[in-house]
Structure 1
Amino acid sequence: MSRLLHTSDWHIGHTLHGYPRTDDFDAVLGEIVDIARESQPDLIVHTGDLFHRRPTAPDLIRAMEALTQLAAVAPTVVVAGNHDSPLYFRFLELVTGPSVGQGLYFVDRFRTAEEGGVFTFDACGGTQRIRLAAMPFVHPNRFWPQSAITTSYADYADGMRGLQQQLLDSMREDYDPDQDVLIFAAHVYVAGATRSESERQMHESFEVPVEDLPQVSYTALGHIHRPQTVRGPAFPACYAGSPLAMDFGEMGESKSVVVVDAEPGRPGRPVPRTLLGARRLAFFEGTLDLLRSESAQYDGTFLKAVISGEEPDVQLAQKIAEIVPNAIIINPRLDFEPGANIPVDFEPGEELELPEAFRVYLGQEGVSGAAADATVHAFVELLNEVEDEVLPPVPAELQLRAALQDTGTEEA
């Protein structure tokens, strides 16, 4: 029986509201390496978004340390996602790939079988083979018709169907139903997959119909952060998901990798392995007294808090931190009751001066008393600074003045 370890969407370099996630990444990547060593797969597949953005030197080191440890367990194939740079992947392939004796393979762009888009690996001590077709993220621009301004959903789906078929045809050449386990790996959005609340919607219209997924032992998917099995195909297809929550829209999701056991010609059996190492994301809404009574459950979290029953206070974050000292406080804010029956001294139809209008707005948002006085005072000072400021002329204005002066001189 062949075994595959499927992981995806590490997004190394990601920060949460400006806070680095280095400890979280070290924890979950260590978990993934431990699962690989314990489960002893024949092949490891990463289905894209290795990095969150252009990687820094520490990002590269963190990624390569983890991937090198995985490659020491089994051959490891990394398929480029939409966040990954094909040039970086090409560089990593040159310095760490098979040409220098490492078991690491980076697929930087769509490649035909002849160009390296289909792999064959021995499994089960040589009694079986895993044949893997790799489909990195393909931008919709690739399928722009010459006569069209943009790509339609149908154009994209048809184009992806053609590229996929090229890989599948090559993977099935010399196919031995008694020996070969077929795996398809793709960084793509499959229609009907459930997104996390925080995930961007930009490629939503460029999706692959679920019925287009191939009939292979297992389809390893990347791009969606919520781990899930895609419903519909007769053969299993799974998003491994991200190993840690990228934002509060992923709060509460159970993060995992997938271990797949498969026999030639049969559907694989995917089993998720939960990852628990990352700092938990939590949301609290209520009074400071309630937070104090429930503080234990927010210990050690990234905590987003909305506090009610308090006057405006610049010390709010400090007060929360004193209650939950081991939490990282993210954008705390007060929950104001909208003001009602705010007394305003003006006649109906009368237009208020800007400072008074601003004071009314603050009252409606629940800010009153000394806090409102201080806020309005600062607002007036800013207005005065803007009114007193003499803006320097822009270059276009200087050129226009010079041209007008030249014209006047010629006429004289």
Structure 2
Amino acid sequence: MRLLHTSDWHVGRTFHGADTLDALSDALGAIARIVREHGVDVVLVAGDVYDSAMPSGRHVEALTRALQEIRAAGAAIVLSSGNHDSAARLGANAGFASAGGLHLSTRALEPDSWRIELADEHGPVHVFALPYLEPVAMRSSLPEAGIANQADAIGWAMSAVRASLSASPARSVVLAHCFAAGVAEPEDDAPRDITAGGLDVVPLARFDGIDYVALGHLHSRQELAPAVRYSGAPLHYSFRERSPQRGGWLVDLDADGLAQVAWVDLPVPRALTTIEGELGALLADESLAGTEDDWVRALLTDRLRPIDAMRRLQERWPHAAEVQWTGGQDAPAAELRARLARRSEAEVVGDFLEHVRAGVGPSEAEAALVRDGLARVAAAEVAQ
């Protein structure tokens, strides 16, 4: 069986305010071509199908077209909900869709609903598509499970997966939407904390014994182990995303389990380029010839803030999307903004308390209250 591991489609997301739907539709159309050219049996989408819990009509139509093209190319589809999705909306009509080869997994508290039973000439393959598991919501629904964080939530889910495999042995694939141990420092725009209280990492050991683990949540590809990988998003959604490549993992299963994994590229519609220097020098820099059609981020080092910098940049680079002034007297403020961008919400609240209390930060009890409050807000947003 050949699988194509993708994730984080984020249908409806913009790039620094620019609409990406046409570019994403092209990328998803390329997935259908990959299915035909490489003989893909199943396309996996490991969470964050939409960028919003309430996608617009045009975004729903775009996703529907993409899924229809992939099915017409000959692949079944297994799709799980992520933290950006509304599980209830995404999972509507899941029972009906499965009859047509589109398997939607969105019910976090119903482990039996995660298993999709597939088969090839070597026998059964069970795909367990774990929806995004919100620890706060699970704590209130499963108080006896002792779920405090994402690692606990995935541990609870994997116990159910192993019980299912024990009762019905088969080669196994798991989809999960989380931070797993061994990830590089997340991109600045990535969800730094899926429980809003510090980077909540799932140990790789939680996935032991599974033939392949298809992870989502990070937007750049990463290999944590031969059988545990992130595919990243099909488009760049920020200058801070680490990997220039966009694509997915072709995963081959043989009679014994995982046989091989290979990367397959998706087209990159517009490259990302960061330029740095004084505005006038950049506009005249001949070494930057050929970058005019790129998405451009400009880091301006002028001693005084340039007037109308974005308009002037866009005269040469029509797709200039971000400009930062790093020179002059505002440099400390820029450094402060950069430091804040690397800190979680709970850490920012702690810093504020330490500032207003003249160096006295939150107590353990106060920090726990802050984490719990932020997590409740995050859970409410996910449930919308």
Residue matched to 1:13: 12
Q: State the alpha-carbon separation in 2 of the partners of residues 245 and 169 from structure 1.
A: 38
Cα pair distance change 1:16/1:213, threshold 3 Å? same
Aligned-residue offset at 1:70: 1.4
Q: State the alpha-carbon separation in 2 of the partners of residues 105 and 309 from structure 1.
A: 54
Indicate whether 1:24 and 2:17 are aligned: no
Residue matched to 2:353: none
User: Unpaired segments of 5 or more residues in structure 1?
Assistant: 340-412
Residue matched to 1:133: 128
Indicate whether 1:167 and 2:166 are aligned: no
Residue matched to 2:238: 247
Q: State the alpha-carbon separation in 1 of the partners of residues 152 and 316 from structure 2.
A: 56
Contact in 2 for aligned 1:236/1:268 (Cα 8 Å): no
- C-alpha deviations, 1:275-333, integer Å up to 9, x for none? 23332222111133344313424221111113345865543223222223xx3122335
Alignment counterpart, residue 117 of structure 2, candidates 120, 125, 150:
120
Normalised to the residue count of structure 2, the TM-score between the two structures is 0.75
Q: How does 1:309-328 map to 2 (within 5 A)?
A: 309=302, 312-324=305-317, 327-328=318-319
Contact in 2 for aligned 1:47/1:187 (Cα 8 Å): yes
Cα pair distance change 1:42/1:128, threshold 3 Å? farther
Aligned-residue offset at 1:220: 0.9
Indicate whether 1:191 and 2:184 are aligned: no
Residue matched to 2:56: 56
Partner amino acid, structure 1, of 2:59: D
The number of residues matched between the two structures is 321
Contact in 2 for aligned 1:111/1:117 (Cα 8 Å): no
Q: State the alpha-carbon separation in 2 of the partners of residues 88 and 297 from structure 1.
A: 44
Percentage of matched positions with identical amino acids:
23
Contact in 2 for aligned 1:109/1:138 (Cα 8 Å): no
Cα pair distance change 1:118/1:299, threshold 3 Å? same
Q: How does 1:1-400 map to 2 (within 5 A)?
A: 2-53=1-52, 54-72=54-72, 73-93=74-94, 97-98=97-98, 101-110=99-108, 112=110, 114=112, 116-123=113-120, 126-144=121-139, 152-153=148-149, 156-175=150-169, 180-194=170-184, 195-203=186-194, 204-231=198-225, 236-250=227-241, 252-287=243-278, 288-292=280-284, 293-309=286-302, 312-324=305-317, 327-338=318-329
User: Unpaired segments of 5 or more residues in structure 2?
Assistant: 331-384
Partner amino acid, structure 2, of 1:322: E
Partner amino acid, structure 2, of 1:117: W
Aligned-residue offset at 1:144: 2.9
> More relative contact order in 1 or in 2 (CA 8 Å, sep 6+)?
2
Please give the secondary structure, in 1, of the residue aligned with 2:35: helix
Q: State the alpha-carbon separation in 1 of the partners of residues 135 and 236 from structure 2.
A: 27
Cα pair distance change 1:218/1:333, threshold 3 Å? closer
Contact in 2 for aligned 1:218/1:237 (Cα 8 Å): yes
Please give the secondary structure, in 1, of the residue aligned with 2:69: helix
Aligned-residue offset at 1:40: 1.5
Please give the secondary structure, in 2, of the residue aligned with 1:60: helix
Q: State the alpha-carbon separation in 2 of the partners of residues 334 and 130 from structure 1.
A: 54
Aligned-residue offset at 1:335: 4.8
Partner amino acid, structure 2, of 1:280: A
Please give the secondary structure, in 2, of the residue aligned with 1:171: helix
Q: RMSD of aligned C-alpha atoms?
A: 2.8
Residue matched to 1:408: none
Partner amino acid, structure 2, of 1:132: V
